Amino acid sequence: MSEPIVVELRLIEQTFRLNTTEEKREELERAAELLNQKFHDMRRSAPRVEHNKLVIMVALQMAQEVFSLNKSLQQYAHCERLLETMLEDVEQSI
């Protein structure tokens, strides 16, 4: 198990000190970059929206993306199971 480390990140115009491990540090930094990019994109498209509301809008947008990806993965898993069943049926009939 990896030793915990503290990483300081600038997220949505604020600085945070977050615990992670060296193995997960790059992933955390990429997630921070994505969050910041989405926040700045939303800020450009809605410059007059309050900071807190903008943060919630970004969080909601990202949650929708997660749900969409999960749905796609579930559909993929279902298709994979169907394909396995079909292959088994073909093998049995040969």
Q: What is the pLDDT of residues 30-47, one digit of tens each?
A: 999 999 999 999 999 999
Tally the domains of the chain.
1
Asked whether residue 61 carries a pLDDT value surpassing 80, the answer given is yes
pLDDT for the residue 92:
87
Amino acid, single-letter form, for residue 64? Q
pLDDT for the residue 1:
67
Q: Are 5 and 25 in contact (CB under 8 A)?
A: yes
Average pLDDT over residues 68-82: 88
Tokens of 56: 């919630």
- State the pTM of this model: 0.74
With pLDDT > 90 as the criterion, what percentage of the chain qualifies?
71
Boundaries of domain holding 46:
4-92
How far out from the chain centre does Cα 15 lie?
Answer: 20
